[in-house]
Each structure stands twice: as structure tokens, then as C-alpha cells.
Amino acid sequence: MEEDIQNAIDTARGLHEDGHEEESEWVLRDALSKNPDSPELLTELAAVLVRNNRDTAAEKLLREIIDDYPEQERAISLLGRLLDSLLRIDEAKTLYRSKLKENPRFHVVTDDLCRILLSEDREKKALERAWDHAERFSDEPGAYDAVRYVLMTKQEDLELKPYETDSSILKELVDNLIQQSKIVLKMDDNILEESKNEDTLGFDIIDEMNRIECDLEHVLDTADENNMKISKQTSKRAKQLLADLHSRQH
């Protein structure tokens, strides 16, 4: 039965990718007629409703799924994102926080909440929550998603600013990349080898190390070329992390 459910979901997703939304929904409803209690099928159907802007029906179904299957994290995420898109942001945050109290291990929900906090310019709060989550569940690959997203978003924002001429912005960028270095090295230390692949993480951990190493080298070179001062402690820490990143890749 599990194989039939997954086949139906895969077929529905393939139809969606080809632009056949009605057929995608029909496949899921047909599968649900045989497996009416499958939270995976119900959640996939809700995702179809969300994509097709059938907001009222999607919200009703998602709330039913969450009531009946409180561990169905994807349904919580879909409902929160739907509420956010409808500008019912406080409701989305309340949903995320209440569900994280019930199950603090929800990685996707943590990521969703941090994204909302960032959108509200509450970067410090988002980073605190994301770091706390990564520290608490450091042996699980998904635990790092939120903190990586917050730091990478901040890096992109800083790189749009004149960091080549403004030492305060450059220092923020160095500090950001130091934190990213710590995260990827911690992941390399704590996550089992079989989990360190692109299918599990959503990215290649060695490629990530290489990206951060290149970015950090570039920022430090920029500081040297423009005679911009970075504290000795920060410079020493950055260079040590560069060495660590390099050694892990070779």
C-alpha cells in the first residue's frame, strides 16, 4: 500500500510539472478513495489546492490534516505559508510557535518561522532561534536549514552594500562568514557520513565549504587591498577557519 501511495504522489507531481493540474488532482483523489487515511496523500492534495489558489478549501483541508495527524510537518508548513501569503502573518507565527512547543524537532517549521522573522526585519531574533535549533539537534541534517538560510540571506544583503569601502559593513560580512564556517564544520563533525549527501542535505557539504572558503578569502583580501582594519582576534579566527575548511576538503 505504501508503494501505491508513493506512486500516486510521484505521478501527481509529474503531471504538475507538465502543467496538468486537473489530472494531478484527479490522481490524488483516486488514490485517496482507496487510502482515505493517508496523511501523505491528503497533504499532497492540499498542496495542489494551494497551487491553484483554492485558498479556502486548502486551509480547511490542512487544518483537518493537522488535527488528525499532528506530526505531519509538511501540512503545518503549507498552512503557515498559506496564511503568510494571505497576510495573516500573526496567525502563521502563532501556528508555528504552538506546533514547535508540541514538537521542538520540527526543522521545516523552524525554518518557516525564521523566514517570517527575517521578513519583519527581526534578524537578531531569527538568528537566535535558528542557532538554538541547530545546537539542540546538531546530529540531524535538517536542523541546520534555518541558520544557514538566515546567514546566507544576511550575506546577500551585505554584499549589496559598499563593503569594499565601509569597514563596518566589511566586518559584518567577515563575522557572517565566520558563523557560516562554524556551521558547516559543525555539520561535518556531527552528521553521520551516510547523511552527508545532496539528497539528504539539499546541497553538497564539500561544495558548501568551498563556497564559504572562497567568499571568506575574497573578503579578507578586500580588507588587505583597501587597508581596512579588522581586529587581530577576528583576523586570526578567520584564518584558522580558512585552514580548517581547506583541510576538510582535501
pLDDT tens for each residue of 21-74? 999 999 999 999 999 999 999 999 999 999 999 999 999 999 999 999 999 999
Residue 149 covered by a domain = no
What is residue 250's predicted lDDT score, i.e. its pLDDT? 78
Half-sphere exposure of 60 toward its Cβ, with a 13 Å CA cutoff?
5
Residue 120 covered by a domain = no
| pLDDT tens per residue across span 183-235 | 999 998 988 888 888 888 888 999 999 999 999 999 999 999 999 988 999 99
Long-range contacts of 75-84 (CB under 8 A, 24+ apart): 75/39, 75/42, 75/43, 75/46, 76/106, 76/108, 76/109, 77/108, 77/109, 77/112, 78/43, 78/46, 78/47, 78/50, 80/109, 80/112, 80/113, 81/50, 81/112, 82/50, 82/55, 82/58, 83/59, 84/116
What is residue 99's predicted lDDT score, i.e. its pLDDT? 98
- CA-to-CA distance for 42 and 211, rounded, in angstroms? 39
Number of domains in the chain: 1
Residue 81 covered by a domain = yes
Residue 48 covered by a domain = yes
What is residue 1's predicted lDDT score, i.e. its pLDDT? 54
Residue 41 covered by a domain = yes
What is residue 179's predicted lDDT score, i.e. its pLDDT? 95
Residue 167 covered by a domain = no
In 3D space, the residue among 46, 126, 42, 29 whose CA is nearest the CA of residue 82 turns out to be 46
Query: Residue 76 sits in which domain range?
Result: 13-98
And the C-alpha cell for 151?
546567514
- CA-to-CA distance for 36 and 30, rounded, in angstroms? 10
pLDDT at 160 > cutoff 70: yes
- 58 alpha carbon, distance to own chain's centre: 23
Length of the chain: 250
Place of cell 546530529: 139
Q: Helix 205-225 to helix 232-249 angle, to the nearest 10 degrees?
A: 150
Residue 131 covered by a domain = no
| pLDDT tens per residue across span 84-134 | 999 999 999 999 999 999 999 999 999 999 999 999 999 999 999 999 999
Supply the CATH number for residue 18's domain. Answer: 1.25.40.10
- CA-to-CA distance for 4 and 28, rounded, in angstroms? 11
pTM equals 0.90
Residue 86 covered by a domain = yes
